[in-house]
Amino acid sequence: GALHMLAALCAALLGITVSPTRTPRVVMSYSWSSPGWRWGYANGAAHDVAMRVRSALSTPQARAGYLDSLRSSDGAPPLDDIKMVLALAWQRARNYGYDDADWEGAMEDMAACKFEGDGGSERLAQAIRARLGGGEADAALQVLAAQSLDALQFESRGL
């Protein structure tokens, strides 16, 4: 109906897709290794995507839904979405002084593209496991991401 059309219009303006059964997702046209990405700058694709992610996950309810989607065996967010949410949460922990596991180091490694290309996902999973004090050796990356976000109280603190 009209409400769904309004939601779809708002989502299009924010660069997210809306599905009645899924959590909002960010549509990324760049990756961490793209020249126009420019993580940490006030302009560039990273800044634009970060603004859309922050908007899409601006409420505790939206963040709870996002965490649920990470823990779900189906419908997990795309990897690039997960990386952006992690990087923003890690950056916030550094900026607000509650980074007690060197999440900043993981964020810097992400910005340096250490989690891109072949084996990038496994390197990211290893980096998260190390900061969580081990974690399940066979846990899926999105589950580890949820655990990282839980450790940073993402649902209540936000991005």
**Model pTM above 0.95:** no
Nearest to 133 by CA among 101, 103, 109, 106: 101
| Structure confidence by residue, pLDDT tens digits, 107-144 | 999 888 899 889 999 999 999 999 999 777 778 999 99
Q: What is the per-residue pLDDT for 9? A: 39
45 within 8 A of 29, measured Cβ to Cβ: yes
Q: What is the per-residue pLDDT for 85? A: 94
What are the mean pLDDT values of the chain's consecutive 10-residue runs (159 residues total)?
A: 42 43 48 62 71 91 95 84 93 96 94 91 95 83 95 96
